Amino acid sequence: MTKKWPLYTGLTLLALGITLKVSTTINLYPLLIIMIGVSFKFFYIALKMIRKEYKPGFEMVALICGLIIFFSGKILSNSELINQFTAVLFKITGIMLKATFVIIFILKTRRPVTAASPLVVSD
The residue that leads in pLDDT, 74 or 79, is: 74
The DSSP code for 25 is: S
Q: How far is CA 3 from CA 20, 43, 45, 74, 122, in A?
A: 28, 12, 11, 33, 41
The pLDDT of 52-56, averaged and rounded, is: 89
Contact 53, 63 (CB under 8 A): no
The residue ranges of every structural domain in the chain are: 1-53, 55-110
Looking at residue 39, its pLDDT comes to 92
The pLDDT of 47-67, averaged and rounded, is: 91
What's the mean pLDDT when you consider all of the chain? 84
Is the model's pLDDT at 17 over the cut of 60?
Answer: yes
Per-residue pLDDT band at 32 (split at 50, 70, 90)? very high
User: How large is the C-alpha radius of gyration of the chain?
Assistant: 20
| Residue 118 phi, psi dihedral angles, 5° rounding | -65, 150
Per-residue pLDDT band at 123 (split at 50, 70, 90)? very low
The pLDDT of 69-76, averaged and rounded, is: 88
